[in-house]
Amino acid sequence: MPELPEVETVRRGLLPAMEGRLIEKATVNRPDLRWPFPPDMAARLTGQRVQALRRRSKYILCDLSGGETLLIHLGMSGRMLVSGATIGGFHHDHPLPQKHDHVVLDMAGGARVTFNDARRFGAMDLIAAGEEERHPLLAALGPEPLGNLFDEAWLVARLAGRRTPIKAALLDQHLVAGLGNIYVCEVLYRARIAPDRLAGSLDAAQVAGLVPLIREVLSEAIEAGGSSLKDYRQADGELGYFQHNFRVYGREGQPCPTPGCTATIARMAQSGRSSFHCPLCQH
């Protein structure tokens, strides 16, 4: 599933085609994805101007001129593809319709934004303006890891005494929004903390040190356009490249990149997810 950097990259890719532009025609080709679409979604989107494109955790929020906000969740394989506009220095003509093109937004100026989702685990919803934080998918989310509300004091207080592995704690969306398996593995490697270590066993300095590392890893990934694993593509159809910078994720059996370390990267299973780590550097 796309994590925060991938969703932020898609949001930025959509900006020139959508923000400030009118949705001249919305086409909805099926009644649902993971959940049913809101009633009359095509009619409610048609004629609306996109006033702003925001991101909350792993969700894209499109504020519309008519007083509603379109929530978009990419799910496992969802893609927002732009055609008929110049994105990233390249012009992409409109492709032929594809089997899994579920929602199509024809924008003023000739751009087309297509939500394609082969597995149909994505979602779209319409929310009354100002009610986003009460939506069931957003209400319980913690602070944004790149925002001002997420800081050392917050994390130290929330992890104090927790008998949960630090990997699981950082994946808890109530604690911090948007972190996923890939980037938590990379953060813990840089912090030299084993993924199965209990969160409450870390001292305040170790916990505080996670905050700048989380921001560093996420910022580097956004700059690289995210990580392309399986289905993920940017809005212009291009791949992300941060996977080439992975230090531990997916590198089981390969040498640890820490200079002088003689260990190889290991993998352990935690709550159904793979945790990649160096058994010597991380403890």
Buried b (16+ CB within 10 A) or exposed e, 228-255: bbebbbbbbbeebebbeebbbbebeeee
Of 134, 162, 179, the domain-final residue: 134
CATH number of the domain within which 46 lies: 3.20.190.10
Instruction: State pTM to two decimals.
Output: 0.87
Catalytic residue numbers read 2-3, 58, 273
| Same domain as 128, residue 13 | yes
In a domain? residue 236: yes
Q: What is the pLDDT along the chain (283 residues), one digit of tens a residue?
A: 678 888 998 898 899 899 999 999 999 999 999 999 999 999 999 999 999 999 999 999 999 999 999 999 999 888 888 888 766 555 567 777 889 999 999 999 999 999 999 999 999 999 999 999 999 999 999 999 999 999 999 999 999 999 999 999 999 999 999 998 999 999 999 999 999 999 999 999 999 999 999 999 999 888 876 554 444 344 555 534 444 468 899 899 999 999 999 999 999 999 889 999 999 999 9
On whether both 128 and 26 belong to a single domain, the answer is yes
Half-sphere exposure of 142 (CA within 13 A, CB side): 18
Computed on alpha carbons and rounded to an integer, the radius of gyration of the chain in Å comes to 20
Look at the chain and report how many structural domains it folds into: 2
Q: Which two tokens stand for residue 268?
A: 């352990």
* Contacts of residue 267, Cβ cutoff 8 Å, sequence gap at least 6: 252, 274, 275, 276, 277
**Same domain membership, residue 238 and residue 170:** yes
- Structural domain ending residue among the three candidates 105, 134, 163: 134
Q: Give domain status of residue 143, yes or no.
A: no
127 and 9 within one domain:
yes
Do 219 and 253 belong together in one domain?
yes
Q: Of 260, 242, 254, 279, whose CA–CA distance to 8 is shortest?
A: 242
Question: In this structure, is residue 145 part of a structural domain?
Answer: no
Q: How many residues does the chain have?
A: 283
Q: Which of 134, 166, 201 is the last residue of a domain?
A: 134
Q: Are residues 25 and 118 in the same domain?
A: yes
The CATH number of residue 182's host domain is: 1.10.8.50
Rounded-to-integer distance, Cα 242 and Cα 226, Å: 6
Domain that holds residue 29: 4-134
Dihedral sign (CA 145, 228, 72, 170):
negative
Q: What is the DSSP string of 14-34?
A: HHHHHTT-BEEEEEE-SSBSS
Q: What is the DSSP string of 173-208?
A: TTTSSS--HHHHHHHHHHHT--TTSBGGGS-HHHHH
